[in-house]
Amino acid sequence: MAPRFRSTLLAALALAAPLVSTPADAQIPPPAAVGGGTSYADLTDLVIAAPVIADATIRSTVKLKGTDAAGVAPGFTRFYVEADVIALVRGAGGLPPRIGYLLDVAPDSAGRLPKLKKLRVLLFGRPVPGIANQIQLVAPDAQLAWTPADDQRVRAIAQALVAADAPPVVTGIGNAFHVAGALPGEGETQLFLTTANGAPVSLTILRRPGEQPRWAVALSEIVDEAAAPPARDTLLWYRLACALPRELPARSTASLDPADATIAREDYGLVLQQLGPCGRTRVIR
Instruction: Give pLDDT tens digits for 196-255.
Output: 999 999 999 999 998 999 999 999 877 666 678 999 999 999 999 999 999 999 999 999
Burial (CB < 10 A; 0-12, 13-18, 19+), residue 66, is exposed
The model's pTM = 0.85
Closest CA to 134 of 82, 61, 78: 82
Residue 48 maps to which CATH number? 2.40.50.120
Determine how β-strand 131-137 pairs with β-strand 120-128.
Answer: antiparallel
pLDDT at 183: 85
Q: pLDDT grade, residue 184 (50/70/90)?
A: confident
Domain boundary among the residues 162, 185, 220 is at 162
Annotate the chain with three-state secondary structure. CCHHHHHHHHHHHHHCCCCEECCCCCCCCCHHHCCCCCCHHHHHHHHHHCCEEEEEEEEEEEECCHHHHCCCCCCCEEEEEEEEEEEEEECCCCCCCEEEEEEEECCCCCCCCCCCCCCEEEEEEEEECCEEEEEEECCCCCEEECCHHHHHHHHHHHHHHHCCCCCCCEEEEEEEEEEECCCCCCEEEEEEEEECCCCCEEEEEEECCCCCCEEEEECCCCCCCCCCCCCCCCHHHHHHHCCCCCCCCHHHHCCCCHHHHHHHHHHHHHHHHHHCCCCCCCEEC
Q: pLDDT grade, residue 3 (50/70/90)?
A: very low
Q: Which domain holds residue 71?
A: 3-162
Contacts 24+ apart (CB under 8 A), 111-115: 113/30, 113/77, 114/30, 114/31, 114/32, 114/33, 115/32
Q: Are residues 127 and 202 in the same domain?
A: no
Domain boundary among the residues 143, 162, 181 is at 162
Q: Are residues 271 and 255 in the same domain?
A: yes
Q: Are residues 137 and 203 in the same domain?
A: no
In a domain, 9, yes or no: yes
Is 99 in contact with 116 (CB distance < 8 Å)? no
Q: pLDDT grade, residue 93 (50/70/90)?
A: confident
| Position 22 pLDDT exceeds 60 | no
Q: Are residues 25 and 98 in the same domain?
A: yes
Q: Are residues 158 and 270 in the same domain?
A: no
What is the rounded average pLDDT of the residues 252-275?
96
Neighbours of 105 (CB within 10 A): 23
What is the rounded average pLDDT of the residues 98-120?
93
Q: Which of 101-110, 176-185, 204-213 has the lowest mean pLDDT?
A: 176-185
| Position 133 pLDDT exceeds 70 | yes
Number of structural domains in the chain: 2
pLDDT at 13: 56
